[in-house]
Amino acid sequence: MSTPEELSIQMAHHSAIRSMQRIVEQQASASPETEARAGVQQMLAAGRVLVVTGAGVSTDSGIPDYRGPQGSLQRHRPMTFQEFRYRPEARQRYWARGYVGWRHMDKAEPNQIHRRLVQWEETGKISGIVTQNVDGLHQQAGSRRVIPVHGDLSIVRCLDCGNSENRNDFDLRLQAANEGYLEAVEIDPAAVNPDGDVELPQYLVEQFNMVSCLRCGSLALKPDVVYFGESVPVERKERIAALEAESDALLVMGSSLAVMSGYKILLNFVKRELPVALITNGHVRGEQKATWRWRVPLEQALRQLD
């Protein structure tokens, strides 16, 4: 019979599975294109626009999205926090696959969308960015006011003692422990998932040698990202709330807002009766509440905006 703690873990895991399987379907028609473009331009001209970005912003950098037609959820279910925390074999599988996938993620570079957002920040059009992406490309492009709501793949943290380590330094330790491993692996870069994970055969997972925490020796090391089934840190929520409070409009780019961390921001702006614009090639959770819905590829939209 399961203990109360085990039941709680199982419930959190199942809730996480339901969240990642959420399908965002059409809830409202797109706005007329000229009207949507004018609305977004008007917001940017007034300034103090908070931008929320999702995986669609990074696809032109070679990183796939989650929920699009070619998204990684079509072929891969991300690991939940409960699996990662309580199943050592799941961590072994993640790090073997993540070690290989990091070769691709670390080479990704900012694209024109990231660079345009830097320009908008420098000219006072936007107040900041809340990104659901964990690739660090906004910061690499030069954006200064960025809150990565789901964390950053470039940091590794110990679940037992809290010690953190730069991912590149951690990767060097993995390379030393796994000489010749990468040469035995052939992958299609297009198969790398947004969290740096990539499919590997089980025999390669078993051959992978994991390294331990530099402080306490634990093997419970995790990329400093928020997994499905894990809560966004309170300090990060407070920073997002402060950025919301100083913003007069919301612009969502390349996100379906399927998870609550992004959807809640939209609800907050709607509650304050402030303008909300969506630029996406798909559908957005709560899109019927938005002021403007511009369904267009992001790069095409940016060519039409000052």
Active site residues: 150
Structure tokens at 192: 């790398």
| Strands 276-280 and 249-253, sheet pairing | parallel
Beta bridge partners of 53: 131, 253
Amino acid at 295: R
Contact status, residue 134 vs residue 151, Cβ threshold 8 Å:
yes
How many helices (DSSP H) and strands (DSSP E) are in the chain?
A: 11, 9
Contacts of 211-219 with C-beta under 8 Å, sequence gap 24+, read: 211/170, 211/173, 211/174, 211/177, 213/158, 213/160, 213/161, 213/163, 214/163, 214/165, 215/158, 215/161, 215/163, 216/158, 216/160, 216/161, 216/163, 218/158, 218/159, 218/160, 218/161, 219/88, 219/91
Q: In DSSP terms, which residues pair with 250 in a beta bridge?
A: 50, 276
Q: Where are the alpha helices (DSSP H) in 178-259?
A: 202-207, 234-245
**Under 8 Å between Cβ of 204 and 184:** yes
Distance CA 303, CA 87 (A): 47
